[in-house]
């Protein structure tokens, strides 16, 4: 019994440590909210314009694409562990460059370099955790990503407003250092070791992670899950010409577009400015901290629900909650900006609406999305498929953040919020109609589920003449 507990504790330690890479990502994404108002102020150490602020908040989503080929080419060669460790370097360089910044161009270069680490942190941790965790706790451990993402965001929201730009940068360096110091001690994914034909190492790793469970039975299950790997190179071509892999990727890319189409990244990047525009009497920095704290609490709750409620219910409820809160914020800004109604009696609504959005996002979408991405792809194409999903995250994240300020200025902030509300409703319908439930299933069972959703004759026709099998 003690050995079994020890194995489970190692799974938790590995998952928490891996998720610290996502905390680095959360701080990196949250950096613009407390920092851009300082840089735009009259006494800024590096004066920037409104347009330059939009580029600083948005460019990292686009340049995240730099990491896509890196991940696709190395994740099945270098391994999950060492690729994740590499992610700490770009984040550390980002914080050091910001600490010694002397120009807008240097800030922009720092954001671009940091985005390489961001691309790795978006692609690899959920794959690693899904491969080291046992089925009955896999969802809960994967939900740690949103907890750590929000922890990193809250950390920078609490330090950024009260420190100088340089001081906040030194505080940001703590996260890469903590990640490296802990993650060096965790084992490599046993799936990766089997892919590299290191069965002895894989068995030793399982012994550390599982203690006195039936290791031979789990090894057989892993072999079953990766049996296609000997027939495919795990390339993008394999996804294109295999009907099952192609349909799975299209489903997840569609979910990704709707997931970020809710406006989550734009609202994080510009939360302080949104509160400034709202005219609320509550301090904008304090409001941002409250929102980040509520988001963290909601993500902790999600980790307990994802293996009980399932992935689909959380996704649907998350999308609906985001739609309602965005619609309410749209009404507030419409009355205040377009109709010039005195909204002083509803000073609390911007904070409440944005808090409700982030709570819905963290409780429903944030946890379940990364769990689905980590589970639904066949292990033979997980690396390249996750890279494509990361590319989609980058493109959509860039579009929402880059367009937020120009569209708000041209049409009104209320139209932006109403647009996010419509996309959120579409997301709920999309999940209800198309996304399967993967709760409590092994990887081989999930693969069989995805195969059953594609007509046999289509699979046979599309895979004929190619080296992949469904």
pLDDT (tens digit per residue) in 64-114: 888 878 887 888 888 899 999 999 999 999 999 999 998 999 999 999 999
For the chain, list the domains and their CATH numbers.
Answer: 2-463 (1.20.1250.20)
- Which pLDDT belongs to residue 424? 95
- The H or E element that residue 166 is part of is helix 165-172
**pLDDT for 164 beyond 50:** yes
> Helical H runs in 340-381?
349-360, 367-376
Q: In whole angstroms, what is the distance from residue 257 CA to residue 276 CA?
A: 28
Rg of the chain, C-alpha, whole Å? 22
- Which pLDDT belongs to residue 392? 85
Cβ burial of 63 (10 Å; 0-12, 13-18, 19+) is: buried
Q: In whole angstroms, what is the distance from residue 211 CA to residue 113 CA?
A: 40
**pLDDT for 2 beyond 60:** no
Asked if 61 and 392 touch (Cβ cutoff 8 Å), the reply is: no
Is the pTM for the entire model greater than 0.85? no
**pLDDT for 179 beyond 50:** yes
For 351-368, write each residue's pLDDT tens digit.
Answer: 888 888 888 888 888 778
- Which pLDDT belongs to residue 420? 93
Pairwise pLDDT comparison (276 vs 435), residue with the higher score: 435
- Which pLDDT belongs to residue 454? 62
Q: In whole angstroms, what is the distance from residue 60 CA to residue 55 CA?
A: 9
For 243-281, write each residue's pLDDT tens digit.
Answer: 888 888 889 999 999 998 898 878 877 777 777 766 666
**181 Cβ contact partners less than 8 Å away, ≥ 6 residues apart:** none
């Amino acid at each position: 019994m003690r050995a079994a507990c020890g194995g489970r504790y190692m799974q938790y330690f590995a998952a928490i440590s891996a998720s610290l890479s996502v905390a680095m990502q959360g701080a990196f994404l949250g950096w613009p909210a407390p920092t851009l108002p300082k840089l735009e102020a009259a006494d800024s150490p590096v004066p920037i314009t409104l347009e330059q602020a939009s580029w600083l908040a948005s460019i990292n989503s686009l340049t995240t694409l730099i990491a896509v080929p890196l991940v696709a080419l190395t994740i099945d060669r270098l391994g999950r562990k060492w690729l994740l460790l590499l992610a700490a370097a770009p984040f550390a360089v980002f914080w050091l460059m910001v600490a010694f910044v002397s120009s807008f161009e240097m800030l922009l270069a720092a954001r671009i370099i940091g985005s390489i680490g961001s691309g790795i942190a978006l692609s690899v941790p959920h794959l690693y955790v899904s491969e080291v965790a046992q089925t009955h706790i896999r969802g809960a451990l994967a939900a740690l990503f949103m907890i750590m993402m929000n922890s990193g965001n809250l950390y920078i929201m609490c330090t950024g407003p009260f420190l100088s730009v340089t001081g906040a940068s030194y505080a940001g360096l703590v996260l890469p250092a903590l990640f490296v110091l802990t993650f060096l001690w965790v084992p490599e994914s046993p799936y990766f070791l089997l892919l590299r034909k290191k069965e002895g190492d894989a068995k030793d790793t399982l012994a550390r992670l599982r203690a006195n469970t039936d290791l031979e039975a789990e090894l057989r299950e892993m072999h079953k899950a990766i049996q296609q790997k000997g027939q495919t190179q795990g390339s993008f071509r394999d996804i294109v010409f295999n009907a099952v892999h192609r349909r799975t990727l299209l489903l997840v890319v569609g979910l990704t577009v709707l997931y970020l189409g809710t406006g989550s990244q734009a609202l994080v990047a510009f939360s302080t400015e949104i509160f400034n525009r709202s005219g609320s009497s509550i301090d904008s920095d304090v409001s941002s901290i409250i929102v980040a704290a509520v988001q963290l609490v909601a993500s902790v709750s999600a980790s307990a629900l994802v293996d009980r409620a399932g992935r689909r219910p959380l996704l649907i409820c998350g999308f609906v909650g985001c739609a309602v809160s965005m619609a309410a914020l749209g009404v507030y800004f419409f009355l205040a900006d377009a109709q010039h109604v005195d909204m002083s009696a509803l000073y609390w609504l911007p904070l409440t609406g944005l808090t409700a959005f982030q709570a819905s996002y963290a409780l429903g979408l944030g946890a379940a999305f990364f769990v689905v991405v980590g589970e639904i792809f066949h292990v033979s194409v997980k690396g390249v498929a996750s890279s494509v999903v990361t590319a989609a995250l980058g493109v959509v994240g860039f579009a929402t953040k880059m367009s937020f300020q120009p569209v708000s200025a041209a049409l009104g902030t209320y139209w932006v919020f109403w647009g996010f509300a419509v996309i959120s409703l579409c997301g709920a319908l999309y999940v209800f109609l198309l996304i399967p439930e993967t709760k409590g299933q092994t990887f081989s069972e999930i693969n069989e589920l995805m195969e059953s959703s594609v007509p046999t004759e289509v699979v046979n026709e599309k895979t004929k003449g190619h080296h992949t099998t469904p």
